[in-house]
A and B are shown apart, each in its own frame.
Chain A
Amino acid sequence: MNQTRRNVLKAGGGASLYALLAAAGMLRPDTALAADWNQKAFEAKNLKDAFDALGAGSRADSIGIFMTAPEIAENGAVVPIGAVSKIPGTESIAILIAKNPTALAANFDIPAGTEPSVSTRVKMAETSEVHVLVKAQGKFYVTKKEIKVTIGGCGG
């Protein structure tokens, strides 16, 4: 093991490995990982645990978040979801699907200068409420919409 890495690991104590490696300059600057992959949130099996793992245990319903999604998804493997936040200071937008085996589908970080609007396509196991969670100025806001699914899309 190279000496720098050994010293870094010795010095680290309880600090996260990511922080250590970043401090040691061992992560290339263009890695651009704005946030670590939140394993606990992505492995949470239900909505409540996913919200908690995202730090959103306390959140307010908001009429300032707009979801574009079909009423009925013909194919649960490819469901288009658009989310726009009109809440000032939006920092992130997450999509959670209540009845999926793991509720959290995606989390988008919105840097300054980027519009708080994202579109993507998700898999839905069955008819379910889809929640959009916005973090803005340190607080959490949520809206939801039920999407009916005729053919489930998670496989298995």
Chain B
Amino acid sequence: MADPMRIRAVIKDGAVNVKILMSHAMETGQRKDGDGKPIPAHYIQHVSATWQGKVVLSAQWGTAVAKNPFLEFSFKGGQKGEKIQVTWTDNKGEKRTDEATIN
């Protein structure tokens, strides 16, 4: 299973600023290994962040998002102590959800 995401959610200028660092190879399918064989594409296709059951961000990604993806966004309404969940799903159907507390 992939390494956990690092998520920081901080109240800033009246909104919750969320920074996420995901752990994922984001292989494009174009690289070749030492024997010259193509390394299959393996990349996150869907991301969603939820707070109090509401989706506060969702995204669809292609192979051009960089390895170990970084994502930052902000949403209104969250309060200190509440939690946000972030889920990613990749092209192989692998999935990971992590949670963080708003600070």
B72 touches A154 (CB 8 A): no
Give the distance to chain B from A127, nearest Cβ to Cβ, in Å. 15
B103 at the interface (CB under 8 A from A): no
**Interface residue ranges of B30-85 to A (CB < 8 Å):** 30-32, 45-46, 48, 50, 54-67, 69-77
The distance in angstroms between the C-alpha atoms of A156 and B66, with both chains bound, is: 15
Which of B26, B45, B70, B74 contacts A117 (CB under 8 A)? Answer: B74
- Tally of chain B residues near chain A (CB < 8 A): 34
Known: A37-B46, A119-B71. Is A109-B59 also a contact (CB below 8 A)? yes
- A33-B48, A114-B74 known; A154 vs B65 contact (CB < 8 Å): no
Whether A120 lies near B15 (C-beta < 8 A) is no
Whether a CB of chain B sits under 8 angstroms from the CB of A122 is: yes
By a CB distance below 8 angstroms, the chain A residues around B56 are: 111, 113-114
Query: Which chain A residues border B66 with CB–CB below 8 Å?
Result: 77-79, 120-123, 153
Cα distance, A107 to B44, chains bound together (Å): 12
B65→A105 contact, CB < 8 A: yes
Known: A114-B73, A118-B72. A106 touches B57 (CB 8 A): no
Other-chain residue from A37, A123, A156 in contact with B65 (beta carbon distance below 8 A): A123
B-side residues, CB < 8 A to A, are 15, 26, 28, 30-32, 45-46, 48, 50, 54-67, 69-77, 87
